[in-house]
Amino acid sequence: MFHPFDGGMGTSFERISDVPEFQNWLQEIKLELQGIYDRTHDTFVWETINLCGKRLDGFTEKKYFIELVGKLQAIRKNIDRYYPDEKKSQNCHTYKEVLLV
User: Can you tell me the distance from the alpha carbon of 37 to that of 99, in angstroms, rounded to the nearest whole number?
Assistant: 15
11 vs 23, higher pLDDT: 23
Q: How confident is the model at residue 5 (pLDDT cuts 50, 70, 90)?
A: confident
Distances (CA, A) of 64 to 10, 32, 42, 68: 23, 19, 20, 6
pLDDT, tens digit, 9 for 90 and up, residues 32-83: 999 999 999 999 999 999 999 887 777 788 889 999 999 999 999 999 998 8
Residue 24 has what pLDDT? 94
Q: What is the pLDDT of residue 68?
A: 93
> What local confidence, expressed as pLDDT, does residue 26 receive?
93
